Amino acid sequence: MNKFFLGGLLILAAVVYLIASSTQASAEYFMTVDELKEDGDSAYGKSLRLSGAVIGDTIQYDPQTLTLTFEIAHVTGNNKEIEAQGGLAEVLYVAVNDPARQRVTVVYIGVKPDLLRNEAQAIMTGKLGEDGIFYAEELLLKCPTRYEEAVPEQAENG
């Protein structure tokens, strides 16, 4: 039975090694705009996952070079805080319309996503350049206004 025990132990060690090394190699730090600004220099070059509220007026797209540029405003990453402040849609609305909020410029080369618009939540992976611009490799968007809990529009008007 001993050799089976040893075999099992070897596999276990292999799995643990695979998990540990892969976690280290591909970890992405979740950050908000405020945290990014706070970290300053130490954030350069790290793999980051950054989220923020898209400011509609700043969206620029050059279809020739497929270069997309926009700014995002800080929103909290804490779900409980978001709930306490009236839900994601409300938090994004406030963030975009608050001139005092910290902002970061994002550059993304590629397709302009269908959901990119004012007050959308952008979740990006990428790296902060030394020029202070966030170079996104991946760009995900959420438009919370279309969530299931939204109130009928007719009611809001009437």
Alpha helix ranges (H) inside 52-135: 79-84, 88-96
Cα–chain center distance at 33: 10
Contact string (CB under 8 A) for other proteins, positions 16-45, x = contact: --xx-xxx-xxxxxx---------------
Provide the CA 109 distance to its chain's centre, in angstroms: 16
Q: Are 123 and 95 in contact (CB under 8 A)?
A: no
Count of chain residues binding other proteins (CB under 8 A) = 44
CA distance 153 to 150: 8
Binding mask 65-104 toward other proteins (x if CB under 8 A, else -) reads -x----------x---------------------------
Binding other proteins (rule: CB under 8 A), the pick from 57, 114, 130, 131 is: 114
Compare residues 11 and 100 and give the one whose CB is closer to other proteins.
11
**Binding residue for other proteins (CB under 8 A) from 2, 5, 42, 63?**
63
Distance of alpha carbon 136 from alpha carbon 104, whole angstroms: 12
Q: Residues 36, 39, 44, 49: what is their CA dihedral angle, to the nearest 10 degrees? A: -40
Q: Which residues bind other proteins (CB under 8 A)?
A: 1, 3-4, 7-8, 11, 14-15, 18-19, 21-23, 25-30, 49, 63-64, 66, 77, 110-112, 114-115, 123, 125, 140, 143, 146-155, 158
